[in-house]
C-alpha cells in the first residue's frame, strides 16, 4: 500500500523525468529537422529516431553530476568541467554549434577551465550554457529555487566567462522551476509567471522578456523570429523558448512544433522549450512516441530518479 510520501515521490519523479525527457526530446526533434547527421549510438538496435545534439548530452551529464553531488557550487566547477570534457569526448560525433566543444577539448588537453572558456572569439553568447543549465532546476524539488539559481550560474560559468551567460542560465532555470510547480490542466498564471522570471534578470534580458509579454497569443513562429532573430544567441533563444512555451503551455506537441519552426538555429530553443513543457506536464504528459524514440530514455529516467531521491531525502531531514 502506497503511503502519502510514496505518492509525493512518484509525483516528483514524473516531473523530473518530464524535465529531462522534454529537454532531450526537444533537442532531438529540432536536430532531426536539421538533418540529424549523427549515427545511432543508443544501443537499442537502431529503434531510436530522436538523436540529441552535444547540447543534450552535456545537459544529461550535468543532471547526472547534480544528482550525485548536489547543487553546483564554485568549488565543483573544476570537477564539472572535467566531467563535461569526458562527455564531449564520448559524444564528439554529435552535431553542435557554439564554442562548448572547443572549451571542453581544451580542458581534456590540460588547460584549466578558466583559461579554456576564454580562448577564441566571443562575438556573442550562444545558447548552450543556458540550455545545459536548465537541468539545475532539478534542485528546485522541495522548494530549493535559490539553490537551483546558484547551480545554474555555476554550471554556465564553466562554459562561458561572460556574466550574461550566467544571467540567461538563471532566467531559464527560474522559468523551469516555476513550470515544475505548475499543474497541467490548470491555467498557467500568466500575470505572475513572467514577472517572477524577470526578477532574476538584468536590464537587457528584462527588455527581451517584456517583448515576450507583448507578443499576442496568436503569435506565429515567424513573429517570434522577427522579434528575437534566429542567431542562436542566448539573449534571444531564452525569450524565444519562453514565447513557445507560453503560446502552448498545455499542448506539448504544439509547443515544440512552434519552437522548432522559429528558425534554423532552433535546437537550443527546442531543448529549453522541451524542458519547460516537460517540467509542467511530467513524463506521463509527454507524447509516448517521443519518449519511445529518444535515445537512452531509460538512462534519462534513472538520472531524473536519482535527483528526486537526493532532494526528497534532504527535504525529509
User: What would the DSSP string read from start to end of 233-299?
Assistant: BHHHHHHHHHHHHHHSTT-HHHHHHHHHTS-TT-HHHHHHHHHHHHHHH-GGGS-HHHHHHBTTHHH
The whole model's pTM is what? 0.93
Measured between alpha carbons, how far is 316 from 3 in angstroms, rounded to an integer?
Answer: 14
Return the pLDDT at 184. 85
Measured between alpha carbons, how far is 302 from 60 in angstroms, rounded to an integer?
Answer: 11
Q: What residue numbers bound the domain in which 202 lies?
A: 9-37+47-316
What is the number of structural domains in the chain? 1
Residue-by-residue pLDDT tens, the chain, 317 positions: 567 778 888 999 999 999 999 999 999 999 998 876 554 444 444 456 899 999 999 999 999 999 999 999 999 999 999 999 999 999 999 988 778 999 999 999 999 999 998 865 555 678 899 999 999 999 888 657 888 999 999 999 999 999 999 999 999 999 999 999 998 878 777 778 999 999 999 999 999 999 998 887 789 999 999 999 888 889 999 999 999 999 999 999 999 999 999 986 679 999 999 999 999 999 999 999 999 999 999 999 999 999 998 876 655 44
- Which residues are CB-neighbours of 31 under 8 A, at least 6 positions away? 38, 50, 51, 52, 53, 95, 267
Residue bearing cell 565543483:
76
Domain assignment present for 305: yes
Whether the CB-CB separation of 281 and 18 falls below 8 Å is answered with yes
Domain assignment present for 56: yes
Domain assignment present for 228: yes
Whether the CB-CB separation of 16 and 139 falls below 8 Å is answered with no
Measured between alpha carbons, how far is 240 from 70 in angstroms, rounded to an integer?
Answer: 29
How far from 24 is each of 8, 131, 195, 258, CA to CA, in Å? 25, 10, 27, 16
Domain assignment present for 100: yes
State the CATH number of the domain containing residue 297.
1.10.4080.10
Domain assignment present for 3: no
Domain assignment present for 204: yes
Residue bearing cell 503569435:
219
DSSP class of residue 185 equals: T
CA dihedral sign of residues 14, 20, 24, 30: positive
DSSP class of residue 2 equals: -
Domain assignment present for 146: yes
Measured between alpha carbons, how far is 163 from 187 in angstroms, rounded to an integer?
Answer: 34
β-sheet bridge partners, residue 50: 294
Amino acid at each position: 500500500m502506497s503511503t502519502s510520501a510514496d505518492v509525493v515521490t512518484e509525483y516528483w519523479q514524473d516531473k523530473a523525468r518530464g524535465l529531462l525527457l522534454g529537454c532531450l526530446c526537444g533537442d532531438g526533434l529540432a536536430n532531426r529537422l536539421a538533418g540529424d547527421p549523427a549515427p545511432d549510438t543508443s544501443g537499442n538496435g537502431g529503434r531510436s529516431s530522436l538523436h540529441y545534439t552535444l547540447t543534450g548530452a552535456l545537459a544529461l551529464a550535468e543532471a547526472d553530476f547534480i544528482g550525485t553531488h548536489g547543487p553546483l557550487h564554485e568549488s565543483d566547477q573544476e570537477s564539472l568541467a572535467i566531467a563535461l570534457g569526458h562527455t564531449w569526448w564520448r559524444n564528439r560525433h554529435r552535431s553542435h554549434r557554439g564554442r562548448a566543444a572547443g572549451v571542453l577539448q581544451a580542458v581534456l588537453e590540460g588547460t584549466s577551465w578558466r583559461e579554456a572558456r576564454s580562448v577564441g572569439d566571443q562575438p556573442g553568447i550562444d545558447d548552450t550554457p543556458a540550455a545545459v543549465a536548465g537541468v539545475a532546476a532539478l534542485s528546485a524539488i522541495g522548494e530549493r529555487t535559490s539553490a537551483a539559481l546558484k547551480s545554474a550560474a555555476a554550471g554556465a560559468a564553466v562554459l562561458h566567462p561572460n556574466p550574461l551567460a550566467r544571467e540567461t542560465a538563471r532566467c531559464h532555470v527560474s522559468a523551469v522551476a516555476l513550470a515544475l510547480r505548475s499543474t497541467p490542466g490548470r491555467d498557467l498564471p500568466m500575470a505572475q509567471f513572467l514577472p517572477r522570471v524577470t526578477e532574476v534578470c538584468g536590464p537587457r534580458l528584462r527588455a527581451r522578456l517584456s517583448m515576450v509579454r507583448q507578443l499576442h497569443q496568436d503569435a506565429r513562429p515567424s513573429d517570434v523570429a522577427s522579434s528575437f532573430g534566429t542567431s542562436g544567441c542566448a539573449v534571444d533563444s531564452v525569450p524565444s523558448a519562453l514565447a513557445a512555451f507560453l503560446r502552448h503551455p498545455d499542448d506539448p506537441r504544439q509547443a515544440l512544433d512552434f519552437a522548432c519552426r522559429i528558425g534554423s538555429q532552433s535546437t537550443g530553443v527546442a531543448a529549453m522549450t522541451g524542458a519547460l513543457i516537460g517540467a509542467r506536464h511530467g513524463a506521463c504528459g509527454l507524447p509516448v512516441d517521443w519518449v519511445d524514440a529518444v535515445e537512452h530514455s531509460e538512462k534519462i529516467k534513472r538520472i531524473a530518479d536519482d535527483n528526486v531521491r537526493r532532494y526528497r531525502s534532504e527535504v525529509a531531514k
